[in-house]
Amino acid sequence: MPKRPDTLETVLLALELLRRIPRNRKVSAAELHEQLTALGVDREIRTIQRQLEMLSKHFEIECDDSNKPYGYKWKERAKGLALPMLSEQESLLLTLAEQHLHNLLPASLMKSMEGFFTQARSNLGPQANAQREREWLSKVRVVSTTQPLLPPMINPGVFEEVSNALYGNKWLKLDYKNANGKRANVVVMPLGLAQQGPRMYLVCRYRSFDNERSLALHRIVSASASTLTFERPKEFDLRKYDDDGRFGFGEGRRIRLTFRIGKDAGFHLVESPLSADQQATEFDDEYQISATVVDTGQLEWWLRGFGDQICDVRRNFI
């Protein structure tokens, strides 16, 4: 005989259902079952159907039983919970946040926000009275400054374990395969997540080491967060780690870079300087650029990309 759910579980299930019932469209028990399953709430669809019947009797929820599957939504003037009261502007903000922050927030937080994201999408749907907010989504876009690439596949469960361990300052057990195909089981202290173009990197310290490394998430075969926590190193600064060129295959060495570049290829550097102290001298058909930068492999690739448009490249270490 299946175990009867306790009162607390029943209340929590009811609250999750109330959060996910929309105002401007109908939702079926099957759709809600799918959302809860994705959240990790494993309940039979018949249980959800019974809960919806009960909630319809005690809350201002409309049940459309004219066709199967039945549809549920908040009545027109229902106060509902905070979730159905999202404004069009709040819905737009949440939808943009979901699109651009989903890899930069802990997986557990994203799951807990799923009801809000679902309602926000519903509020901006074709049946909602939010035409201007809906149109805005097609008016803005983040574009790549390099050749667009598809993101590499990350193994199921890896991002969830990594982000949750990072969020909770917990040691992380990894099965990691590097770019040469060498595989190893390691225990790391997760310190930061960074998205570089289509790729995600975990900045961490191996156990018993005090230097940082960047591990590509798509090369992690499996990950498991430990129950053991650690004290985050006060001296570590993810912004400084980035400023030192560590994501560009550098070691933090700063140089004074000077080169000449054709005007057609180099005009963008006048508008978007390499550094705050950049100096640009204009000649007939070229610029001479001088700037303090971090010496990295990425910088070398960038310079080579200009081909014969660039010349007289000099590096003076600071």
Confidence of residue 101 (pLDDT cuts 50, 70, 90): confident
- pLDDT tens-digit readout, 163-177: 999 999 999 999 999
pLDDT above 70 (res 23): yes
Structure tokens at 233: 């190193």
The verdict on 195 and 262 lying in the same domain is no
CB 73 within 8 A of CB 26: yes
Q: What is the mean pLDDT of residues 16-38?
A: 85
Which amino acid belongs to residue 278? Q
Q: What is the pLDDT, as a whole number, of residue 81?
A: 53
pLDDT above 60 (res 80): no
As for how many domains the chain has, the answer is 4
pLDDT above 50 (res 91): yes
CB 279 within 8 A of CB 286: no
C-alpha to C-alpha distance for 119 and 133, rounded to whole angstroms: 14
Q: What percent of the chain has pLDDT over 70?
A: 94
The verdict on 64 and 103 lying in the same domain is no
CATH number at 291 reads: 3.30.70
Is residue 141 domain-resident? no
Structural domain harbouring 106 = 86-136
Is residue 258 domain-resident? yes
Nearest to 18, CA basis, from 56, 68, 71: 56
Q: Does 289 or 76 have the greater pLDDT score?
A: 289
Confidence of residue 21 (pLDDT cuts 50, 70, 90): confident
Classify burial at 139, counting beta carbons within 10 Å of its beta carbon; exposed 0-12, middle 13-18, buried 19 or more: exposed
Is the pTM higher than 0.85? The answer reads: no
Instruction: Measure CA of the first residue to CA of the last residue in the chain; give whole Å.
Output: 74
The verdict on 176 and 201 lying in the same domain is yes
Q: What is the pLDDT, as a whole number, of residue 2?
A: 41
Long-range contacts of residues 209-217, Cβ cutoff 8 Å, at least 24 apart: 212/236, 212/241, 212/246, 214/246, 214/247, 215/174, 215/176, 215/188, 216/152, 216/179, 217/154, 217/158, 217/159, 217/162
Q: What is the pLDDT, as a whole number, of residue 83?
A: 47
Is residue 144 domain-resident? no
Q: What is the pLDDT, as a whole number, of residue 3?
A: 42
Confidence of residue 127 (pLDDT cuts 50, 70, 90): confident
Q: What is the pLDDT, as a whole number, of residue 141?
A: 83
